[in-house]
Chain A
Amino acid sequence: MRLAPEVSTRLKVPLGDDVVPVSELVLAGRPTGTELQGGTFEAGVAVPDGFLVFLTEGVPEEERLSIYLVDDAGRLLDRANIGQWTTAAAFSDLQIESADTLRFRFLGDGHWRLRLLPGGGLRLPLVPEAPCVTRPFGFTRRFVLSTDSSRR
């Protein structure tokens, strides 16, 4: 893993009162056509055969972080969101811990850890792997999120 300055996004649909912002993924200056939910690009990280992209919606008082795993061509492989109703959150302190793990701060009083699952893994749909994490309905995942934050 390494921070990837070649990853960026281009805002396609701006934030509105009832409109979720949408951005297009840009890799090495080339638009990929892949649309991602979120209007504020927070970070890009290169991983084996792809990239992790971190985007927030742009409402600091009730922020949501969207994490996308894409392949080298920008095709979406996996995604997860972290957010909690009526709760302020801010993305910060991204640190790469090892070849397959990084950590960052967002919601809660501790760190979040993201660990890549090289061969992918199974998951139960609708059962969050950590509090405040949501994913689209499905049975597989390519990375797993955990947090050492204390519960309220």
Chain B
Amino acid sequence: MANYQTPGMLCTMRGGRFALGTCQAPPAPGPSGPTRLETALDALKAEVANAGAHLALDAQTRKAYIRLTAEMSAELRQAAQSGAMTWEQAANEAQVVRNAIMEQMRARTTPVGRSLAEQMKAEGKSLTELVKDKTAKLFGKARSFEDLSAAERDSVFAEIVASAGRGRPSVNASVRVMSRAGRGLLVFSLAVSVYTVATANDKVDAAKHEGAATLAGIGGGIAGGAAAGLVCGPGAPVCVTIGAFVGGAMAAMGVDYFHLW
């Protein structure tokens, strides 16, 4: 006796024939086999967590960047005030250290965040240009740096040190929105998972599955973004974002397909 599945029905064979009255609909997929709809919903949930994690991670990195540059600026100001270094040395140091902090922070951002920060090369001002700008700002365009007294020159360098510890306020405002949105998406994703576990027959299995799908979505998103960055180059935010989206969805669906929980 063997079971054979005809389209849409499962029947028992006896003596080479379908046994009458044995055909029935195949059992609904249980915990061992999610339906396509369930897999798609898992991918959607994972994408919500993926997007939330990207936003929250990059917002945190930005906050760290602002904190570190502000601390650097305050330390250099203190060093110059105490006489440990001249204001000119502090201004030079501020430019170098800020660039180092920026590189360090870029390495900590998500591939999507990094691609947004690396689309184009910097076209910054040299220290000489900054000195000229700050002189005009503090003392008017009519005066040149060479005409300033020693104390006035120090105030120009002090302004450069202070400026190096500042982030662009319009970015800071965007990051606050990003941070809230990211946390909101993560909380929403968590709430949906909690509901799914609470209403499941096998709560332990459901909890494992939810955890695996969410983590895979986030990890897959990071990996997909990084892989897209390798293919398209780091400064290609559209390509990297698509990579992160596809990576997150594939990882979440892979959890269901391969039953990885």
Contacts and interface: CB of A to CB of B under 8 A. Distances in A.
A88 B123 contact: yes
A24 B124 CA distance: 26
A19 B98 CA distance: 21
A88 B116 contact: no
Interface in B78-112: 98, 102, 105-106
B233 A88 contact: no
Contacts, number: 106
Interface residues of B, number: 34
Given A59-B166, A86-B105, A90-B125, A18 B172 contact: yes
Chain B, interface SS category: helix
B119 A86 contact: no
Given A60-B133, A86-B106, A151 B119 contact: yes
Nearest to B115: A152
B219 interface: no
Contacts of A86: 65, 102, 105-106, 117
Contact of A85 (B116, B123, B129, B169): B116
A16 to B, nearest CB: 7
Interface of A: 15-21, 37, 57, 59-64, 83-90, 105-109, 131-132, 147, 149-152
30 contacts: A16-B169, A17-B166, A17-B167, A17-B172, A18-B172, A19-B169, A20-B170, A57-B169, A61-B98, A61-B124, A62-B167, A64-B171, A83-B168, A84-B116, A84-B120, A87-B120, A88-B125, A89-B122, A89-B123, A90-B123, A107-B122, A108-B120, A131-B119, A132-B119, A147-B120, A149-B121, A151-B235, A151-B236, A152-B119, A152-B121
